[in-house]
Amino acid sequence: MNRDAKTQSALVAIARTRRLQRALAHASIHRDAPIPSLRASLGFMTSTARSTEDAASHGHTMTVLGIAVPEAIAYVVEEIGENETPIVYRLWLAGPRVGNLVPLHAWYEQCDDAAEIRARIAAVAATLEPVARTTTEAWMLSTRVVQRRALRVAGQPTPIRKYALQLRVEAVSGYGPSGHSTVTAFLRPEAELADVCALSDGRAIARVTYTGIPSGFGQAKDTVILLTE
């Protein structure tokens, strides 16, 4: 008997049930809100495009390097291309900016050489406390389109679809840390829970992939969300 397979199946079933419960609760709360007309919905779908003529871009991937415990900061690196300079972020784990993901501007004001930035990343990584990945089946990602707009792109006659997409990650069991964020998605409002890293204090950092680059049929982009109690 494969207990791991049975556990994963049970977690997936619980996640489906909780998604249904959340959808019913959301519908009950907003039952008196005006429903968008069919004409408005069809107008948005027929007057906007879900692809672009420019398909040269590549997806952006984020990695959690580790935790600087004295500073209560997680260092995150975003790779934007094979020959491009990576972007380094700080994710604040405490204080008034807790949960904020902030680019490390000071590094790029001093130099713009990719090799030097990567050398700094390697030096910092050696001083950080590593994070441990947990099984994604124990977590649930919920998405909701908060706003939809049409965005005009140079050289393309039809505007493309743009969404304000709310992401929420929580434990399938209903007990444990959770967190949410709102991102700008293009072409289609899709997102996937890529992985979750556990912190030593019981919190976690989730990495979510969504369609965040308006190129071709849409390229993937990552964001990280701090899950707190």
The domain ranges of the chain are 61-130, 132-229
Q: What is the pLDDT of residues 153-206, one digit of tens each?
A: 777 788 888 999 999 999 888 888 999 999 999 988 999 999 999 998 889 999
Q: What is the pLDDT of residues 130-157, one digit of tens each?
A: 999 998 888 999 999 988 888 887 777 8
22 vs 29: CA distance, rounded Å: 11
Tokens of 102: 């902030």
Among 111, 57, 109, 102, residue whose Cα is nearest residue 80: 57
Strand order in the sheet with 101-103: 61-68, 73-79, 87-92, 101-103
Confidence band (pLDDT; 50, 70, 90) for 101?
Answer: very high
Residue 5 confidence (pLDDT) above 90:
no
Residues in the chain: 229
Reported for 161-166, long-range contacts at CB under 8 A and 24+ positions apart, including other chains, are: 161/44, 161/48, 161/49, 161/50, 161/186, 161/187, 161/188, 162/186, 162/214, 163/189, 165/189, 165/191, 165/210
Residue 31 confidence (pLDDT) above 80:
no
Strand order in the sheet with 132-134: 132-134, 191-198, 204-213, 219-227
pTM, to two decimals: 0.80
The pLDDT, as a whole number, for residue 1 is 47
Residue 78 confidence (pLDDT) above 90:
yes
The stretch 197-219 carries a mean pLDDT of: 90
55 vs 208 pLDDT, higher one: 208
207 vs 62: CA distance, rounded Å: 8
The pLDDT, as a whole number, for residue 84 is 87
